[in-house]
Structure 1
Amino acid sequence: MQRRDTLKTIGGIGLAGVLGAGATGSVAATDASGRGHGNNPGRVGSYNGNSTKTAPGLGGFDRVLLYLADPDPDWEGEVSAERFQEALMGRSVDEAVADRNDGVAFFEERYGLEFPEADEDDVYEPVSSSGSIDATLRPTMLSPGTGYTAYVFSGKSIPNTHGDDHTNTDPNRTGKVRDGGWWAFLDEDTQFGGEYGEINDEVFPAGTIVLWGDYNIRMGDREDPTVIHYDSDHPVTPGDASVVPRAFNCRIEHDEWGEGAVRGVSGGDMVGIRNVLTFPASL
């Protein structure tokens, strides 16, 4: 595997601009009538439409996406790593093996976790680490019942689909985020090795996760899904022992947009997920 370039650390991203204009330039003053002009209107207008429309170049970024998830506990449907890799990502078994083994190489280089490489017979099986750090690699697909949906996609108009008490759980509706890959879980309290161990000697608890996977976003019926690769820039600590939501921070990559960053929170006393993606990682 070719090591992906280390990205710049993303700066703080405010969401106040998500519904505003994406044009750049100096701020215009409001005129005496109160109507305003340019990028500074007298009043911010209301919008009652059925889709989210955001400007291209939102906030100066090439692309901005916002994912929301509040789950439906009664959702029922198929969830499997094999379905994610083959039916949704369109990979052959050999291509799934290659992607998993790219993840294995990443986990060793970045975090010092050593896992045996997979082949076509065991690609969808979990495996224990073979090195000095006890961990387990698990093929993963996030349940569509989680409600993970891209409601903001700069330069696009995304339907506002949701249930009465949950975000969209239909995997075939536009904006649905199908999320899966190969996730590694610590089985002991320990420090990481690899590149990460050189910059952080913190002891992480058992249950901490590092990620390698893809977001596969369902678009229109006549267009391909948007696929964004992600891998952990920092570990994700377990959120079940605290009311404080846990943060996840990933490097991301798209074939056309290049490299970017994910900053999100989940768990704790928050049942869902709130996640912001930007390309590039920072301005």
Structure 2
Amino acid sequence: MGTPGNNSLGSLPTMDNRRESINPGRHPEGPTPSVRSNPDWNPALKNGLSAYSAGQYHDAYILFQVALDYSRETGNRRQEAECMSHLGTLHRYNKDYPNARSHFSEARSIYQTLGEGYLEEQLQCDRQLVQVDERTGDYRTALHAYESIRATAREKGFRKQEAWCAYALGRLYNVINLYDRALEHLNEAIEVAQNLQNLEIQAFAAEESGRSEELRKNKAQARVYYKRALRLFHDIGGGRQTANEDRVRAKLERVQSSKKLIFCLPMCIFK
């Protein structure tokens, strides 16, 4: 799935950052294919992605479980791995870390059996497992692992995974209060994502950059990043990725309200 995002610890999951692994963009709108014309046809998976994007995580979990059962019945191992990954993201979001690890590890094992054509998916599972380390507070392990996965992704030419790792490093440096380092990695993530024309990574990286600026009290620049992230999330989902949009909108309102408070203070003094 993507963080969700997450963005930060405790934030909504990224499908990656949930919304990379659960990415509505992989299921374009159009005529519903039949089972015969498309062996990947799985309505529960599609509906689960929609529920996740709308922030309906309980419904998404049920739908992904149904989709998982269907993929097993039809022998679709690739789709089985995808469903396992989405379920792992929801377990991670709910802080059920043992189940999260189990699902991500199983997804990785399936991709491994599918052959070398799924090396990038294996790296994605590796990164999702590292997110569990991050969420449990093992920051040192997470930092080294993200760096290692990014290096491998760069060597293999998996630029999307490289960008997600740069984003993850930026997010983690925010957690440990190294905001300049965070922005360096987030800028790298944005640059790679722009070259890939990947709006999703740009959106999450812009949101996290806003967090960097907000944490170091640069509210004006934080507003710039949050507005950019909000616009990108809207462009991605056409207004349907409400969980991402609502989260960023709340952050934007927070920094804007602090600005209003500053301007109100002189008036209050004279009352």
TM-score band w.r.t. shorter chain: under 0.3
What TM-score comes out, normalization by structure 2 length? 0.24
- Return the structure number with greater helix share: 2
TM-score, normalised by the number of residues in structure 1: 0.23
Higher relative contact order (CA 8 A, sep 6+): 1
Higher strand share: 1
